[in-house]
Amino acid sequence: MKNNWDIDTALIHHSKRGATHSGAVVEPIIPAVAYAFPDTDTAAAVVSGEKEGVYYGRYGNPTLFSLEEKIASLEGGEAALGVSSGMAAISIALLAYLKQGDHVVVTKDVYGGTYKFLTNIAVRYGIEYNFVDCTNPEFIHNHIKENTRAIYIETPSNPHLTILDIKKISEISKLYGIPLIIDNTFMSPYLQNPLELGANIVVHSATKYLNGHGDSIAGFIVGNSDDITFMRNSLMGDLGQVLSAWDAFLILRGLKTLGVRMERHCKNALEIATFLENHPQVEKVYYPGLPSHPQHELAKEQMKGMGGIVSFELKDGKEAGKRFIDSLKLIIISFSLGDPETLVQHPASMTHFSIPMEEREKFGITDGLIRLSLGLENAKDLINDLEQALMVRPKVDIELKV
């Protein structure tokens, strides 16, 4: 049932009913592994797919199904699949279209985990790939082969916040009759809806903004019903990557505050990006909300907000970056993003460590690059912490002469 609710309302209320079948306002946690049937014919019908129902927890659970319905609705897709991590979502989405001998075009600005999956696992099964500068859609044309079966992009990218033209790239994918898969983690459905712009599949690390509290690992894939059914029955279930009822409950809870959280994330990010861009110790800032960003106008066209991630480089490079990070007192050094706490990390040695140094340099991931995930704190407190860390000078050994 389609409703005309604004997204802020849809995040809080169930898409089909104001409360659950039990009457509870909050979705119940149903962690059952097995489910009973009145007779063998019903059991067989559910297993074969002739009748709707749940028969084994490896293929999902009622709590997860409620969450999947909500995620599909938020992204404007026919169906969604909740899985055990963001990497589970990425790998399932790719494996749904790729087999031995197939080829995929991948944006060069890609998450380190995606890079490692392609270079470490996909190649073992005869899957080919090319990393392409997708800021120019014409470059994609140049890398399409007879065996190309998918295009995979991130926008904004991790960690450079590169923005790709979803509409133009989707036109290319349709021209060749191949699916376009987009990682929408940095935006969430609140700020960007790739399916409406022509994408075929959207993936999320729900560990990040969808959950928003740093206490659940999960992933989502959104697309048409046939593709999602295939992924559930022939990949997710067989690989054992189902999302638990407890994690589904945490994300259902987290989604209710996604709107207000994203507004604060975006507000803080813009203030911090502006502060950093005007600081004498900062060489360059990457944030699509700044007019200096090369795809600023495109970002305004296809995004409803600029997100909560800011990356930047200091003028004195790696050592200055290390000194800066180690001098922070409020901001936490950690992996992940989208949490209430502001997190800082060094991509070259953390999230993108799996990419060899020579490849990182090609992708522009320098040793001096720093990524901030802006949390929900007061922006003034964050700026004060950044300011004091930026002003810490290197220690100088003084030789005493007698």
**So which residues are the catalytic ones?**
58, 111, 183, 208
* Cα(66)–Cα(109) distance, integer angstroms: 33
User: For residue 90, is it left (φ>0), alpha (ψ between -120 and 50) or beta?
Assistant: alpha
Cβ–Cβ under 8 Å, residues 202 and 80:
no
Determine the Cα angle at 267 with ends 170 and 269, to 5°: 70
Looking at residue 361, its amino acid is: E
Q: Which tokens is 281 given? A: 């110790």
Q: Which among 74, 113, 89 has a CA at the least distance from the CA of 231?
A: 89
Phi, psi of 51 (to 5 degrees): -130, 140
DSSP code of 353? T
First to last CA, the chain: 86
- Per DSSP, what are the bridge partners of residue 345? 371
Q: Which among 168, 177, 124, 123 has a CA at the least distance from the CA of 148?
A: 177
* Cα(227)–Cα(195) distance, integer angstroms: 14
Cβ–Cβ under 8 Å, residues 43 and 55:
yes
DSSP code of 355? S
Q: How far is CA 204 from the centre of its chain?
A: 4
Crossing angle of helices 245-255 and 62-75, rounded to 10°: 40
**Pairing state between β 282-286 and 309-314:** antiparallel
**How many residues does this entry show for the chain?**
402
Which residues have CB under 8 Å from 214's CB, separation 6+? Answer: 336, 338, 339, 340, 341
User: For residue 161, is it left (φ>0), alpha (ψ between -120 and 50) or beta?
Assistant: left
* Cα(131)–Cα(363) distance, integer angstroms: 10
Handedness of CA 345, 182, 214, 383 (dihedral sign): positive
